């Protein structure tokens, strides 16, 4: 009997996902020179495309060269050469997977070494204890800059469509810019973009509408949303439910539910407000509640690495199972499940007392696996967290120097 994970899923825009497993976005930092996708990303997505997932969502593609989540990030703006992106889309889609580009602006979550100030709804810096100095100090955006960001999201979505991608996912989670506007902890504005939830949601809804206007009705448009910030006084589950009710009135093809931020990395299974998450499928309880009121399919991501847990997500009424770290460890895990192999992905987590350092080390372990796949190798089941973090910091410094040189040459 074929698992329900491998049933097709029609989307509101008329497309169909071949199955219910999605490769969720991860921070890859694999851009080639010029912040463009190159052979490493083409190989990585070719491997995932052959691995059996029905939907591939890329890691962050930045809408503004001045604002990157990391120095190896891909940038796609109006006028960016599209041929490297066409090759990226072709590699991912070769075996039939739908491929969506995640588009994002980091807001205040931009590292200081990149040499730019950070835009944010309000001038509230990240609080990561002794690690806070790694990030640029933010300043409050002007109304003109907010409108510029809306236009940039739309321009990047249109460029992704021209390059052959099937859709885009607007990143409104994990403490990045749109998420910062949604949260009362980071949005203290007293104008039309702050205060009430309706005002705090104005940027997200404006971006969704501008993107849809630029790409038409047949292109996929998804939103990645926090189920909560998992910080006291932050964006709540009730807030998220209301956002989804508003998104019901927009032309949105899928909502992905996640949670947390750099300050409260719930997407890695840890929270700042003391709430306990499930060991796998961290956000399933809330996703089940949202799926009951959402008019579009709902996807949840967070810690899923076993077939039985993935199937329980569908049993709860959630339409798509998002997996990230699991597919960094076993890139062909969906195909193995389809073939009846009882394979689980290893748990990748660092539980140091310093939570910020543990988060960085966990990301370094994931990226080390991605680099192995991108080089044509199978990743090992385990790596040293300390060594992985050290080599990741060295690599980040080198990429930051390359980025600054490129930026200065292309002001």
E strands along 173-297, which residues?
A: 220-226, 254-258
Whether the pLDDT of residue 348 is over 70: the answer is: yes
Alpha helices in 300-384 (DSSP H): 307-315, 325-329, 333-338, 355-374
Q: Specify the pLDDT at position 381.
A: 86
Angle at 152 between CA 151 and CA 158, to 5 degrees: 90
In sequence order, the 6+-apart residues with CB closer than 8 A to the CB of 401 are none
Q: Per-residue pLDDT averaged across 330-353, rounded?
A: 92
33-68 pLDDT, tens digit per residue, is 999 999 999 999 999 999 999 999 999 999 999 999
φ/ψ of residue 76, rounded to 5: -135, 110
Q: What is the C-alpha separation between 140 and 256, in angstroms, rounded?
A: 28
Q: Specify the pLDDT at position 271.
A: 46
Q: pTM of the full predicted structure?
A: 0.94
Whether the pLDDT of residue 266 is over 60: the answer is: no
Q: Is 32 exposed, middle or buried (0-12, 13-18, 19+ CB in 10 A)?
A: middle
Q: Specify the pLDDT at position 278.
A: 53
204-236 pLDDT, tens digit per residue, is 999 999 999 999 999 999 999 987 666 676 788
The two tokens of residue 380 are 């090992």
- Interstrand relation of 9-10 and 16-17 (parallel, antiparallel or unpaired): antiparallel
Question: Which DSSP string do the residues of 17-67 spell out, in sequence order?
Answer: ESSSEEE--------BGGGB--HHHHHHHHHHHHTT-SEEE-S-EES-TT-
Given a contact cutoff of 8 angstroms between Cβ atoms, the answer to whether 229 and 185 are in contact is: yes
Q: Per-residue pLDDT averaged across 361-372, rounded?
A: 93
Supply the mean pLDDT for the chain. 91
pLDDT band at 2 (very low <50, low <70, confident <90, very high): confident
Collapse the DSSP code of 200 into the 3-class scheme (helix H, G, I; strand E, B; otherwise coil) and give the result.
helix
195-205 pLDDT, tens digit per residue, is 999 999 999 99
67-106 pLDDT, tens digit per residue, is 999 999 999 999 999 999 999 999 999 999 999 999 999 9
Q: Mean pLDDT: which of 27-31, 161-165, 323-327 is highest?
A: 161-165
* Nearest alpha carbon to residue 153 among 102, 220, 81: 102
Given a contact cutoff of 8 angstroms between Cβ atoms, the answer to whether 252 and 222 are in contact is: yes
Q: What is the C-alpha separation between 167 and 170, in angstroms, rounded?
A: 10
Whether the pLDDT of residue 6 is over 50: the answer is: yes
Q: Specify the pLDDT at position 168.
A: 98
What the chain holds in terms of domains, given with CATH numbers, is 4-409 (3.20.20.70)
Helix (H) or strand (E) holding 120: strand 118-120
Q: Please give the share of the chain, as a percent, with pLDDT higher than 70.
A: 93
Q: Specify the pLDDT at position 54.
A: 98
């Amino acid at each position: 009997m074929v698992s329900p994970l491998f049933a097709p899923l029609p989307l509101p825009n008329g497309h169909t996902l071949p199955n219910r497993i999605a490769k969720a976005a991860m921070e890859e930092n694999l851009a080639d020179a010029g912040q463009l996708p190159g052979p490493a990303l083409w190989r990585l997505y070719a491997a995932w495309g052959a691995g059996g997932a029905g939907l591939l969502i890329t890691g962050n593609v930045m809408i503004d060269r001045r604002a990157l989540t990391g120095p190896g990030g891909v940038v796609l703006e109006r006028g960016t050469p599209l041929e490297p992106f066409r090759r990226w889309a072709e590699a991912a889609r070769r075996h039939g997977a739908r491929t969506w580009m995640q588009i994002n602006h980091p807001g205040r979550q931009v590292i200081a070494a990149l040499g730019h100030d950070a835009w944010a709804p309000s001038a509230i810096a990240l609080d990561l204890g002794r690690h806070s100095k790694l990030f640029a100090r933010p300043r409050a955006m002007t109304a003109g800059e907010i409108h510029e960001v809306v236009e940039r999201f739309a321009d990047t979505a249109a460029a992704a469509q021209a390059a052959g991608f099937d859709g885009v996912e607007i990143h409104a989670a994990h403490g990045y810019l749109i998420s910062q506007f949604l949260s009362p902890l980071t949005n203290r504005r007293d104008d039309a973009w702050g205060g009430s939830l309706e005002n705090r949601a104005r940027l997200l809804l404006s971006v969704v509408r501008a993107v849809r206007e630029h790409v038409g009705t047949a292109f996929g448009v998804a939103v990645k949303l926090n189920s909560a910030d998992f910080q006291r006084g932050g964006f709540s589950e009730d807030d998220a439910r209301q956002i989804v009710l508003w998104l019901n009135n927009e032309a949105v093809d899928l909502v992905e539910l996640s949670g947390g931020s750099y300050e409260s990395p719930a997407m890695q299974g840890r929270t700042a407000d003391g709430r306990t998450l499930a060991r796998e499928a961290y956000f399933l309880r809330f996703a089940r509640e949202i799926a009951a009121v959402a008019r579009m399919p709902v996807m949840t991501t967070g810690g899923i690495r076993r077939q039985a847990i993935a199937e329980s997500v569908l049993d709860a009424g959630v339409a798509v199972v998002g997996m990230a770290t699991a597919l960094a460890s076993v890139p062909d895990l969906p195909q193995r499940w389809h073939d009846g192999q009882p394979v689980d992905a290893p748990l990748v987590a660092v539980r140091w007392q310093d939570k910020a350092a543990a988060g960085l080390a966990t990301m370094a372990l994931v990226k080390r696996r991605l680099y192995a796949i991108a080089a044509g190798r199978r990743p090992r089941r385990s790596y040293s967290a300390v060594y992985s973090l050290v080599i990741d910091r060295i690599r980040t410094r080198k990429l930051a120097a390359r980025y600054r040189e490129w930026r200065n040459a292309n002001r």
